[in-house]
Amino acid sequence: MGTVSPLSTLSISSLCLQSEVLGEDVLDGNHIVISIELKDSPSSLPTHALVDCGAIRYAFVDEEFACDHNLPLYKLKNPCSLEVIDGGLVESRNITYLTKIEININNHKETIPMFIIKLGHYPIVLGLP
């Protein structure tokens, strides 16, 4: 596998990091949530993802979700911090791992890297380019 370029700070919406404090009706009613399928040969895993314009250029997967489903982990050469949309830094530790996995969205297949972080409500957050 190739090396991951060093990153200092990534951005993500603060909504992605909130836990069960917000109810399902509030979260899903105001945001784009899509059904996706993760493909880790030979098995497939149906799940859902939040599309987040605040997570510019990056994708994230919840660390517990990644561990529960044995997603492949790759250690970053240089850990990076995570900044929420309001400019504050996340209180959790630096990001030190990512996974690369194929996702399928309505028959569009793509292998993407996803940084492993502690997310709140959604197992996956897909940033917009």
Q: What is the CATH number of the domain that holds 97?
A: 2.40.70.10
Q: Is the pLDDT of residue 84 over 90?
A: no
DSSP symbols for 7-65: -SEEEE-GGGG--TTS-HHHHHHTSEEEEEEEEETTEEEEEEEEEETTSTT-EEEEHHH
Q: Is residue 101 part of a domain?
A: yes
Q: Is residue 1 part of a domain?
A: no
The whole-model pTM stands at: 0.74
Q: Is residue 41 part of a domain?
A: yes
Q: Is residue 77 part of a domain?
A: yes
Scan for tokens 């596998």, then name that residue.
1
- Across 59-80, average pLDDT: 92
Q: Is residue 90 part of a domain?
A: yes
Q: Which of 5-14, 62-71, 117-126 shows the highest mean pLDDT?
A: 62-71
**Token couple for 56:** 């510019």
Task: Give the count of domains, the chain.
Answer: 1
Q: Is residue 111 part of a domain?
A: yes
CA angle 9, 18, 64 (to 5 degrees): 80
Q: Is the pLDDT of residue 13 over 60?
A: no
Tell me which residue range forms the domain holding 114. Answer: 9-127
Q: Is residue 118 part of a domain?
A: yes
- In this structure, what DSSP letter does residue 24 have? H
pLDDT of residue 6: 45
Q: Is residue 4 part of a domain?
A: no
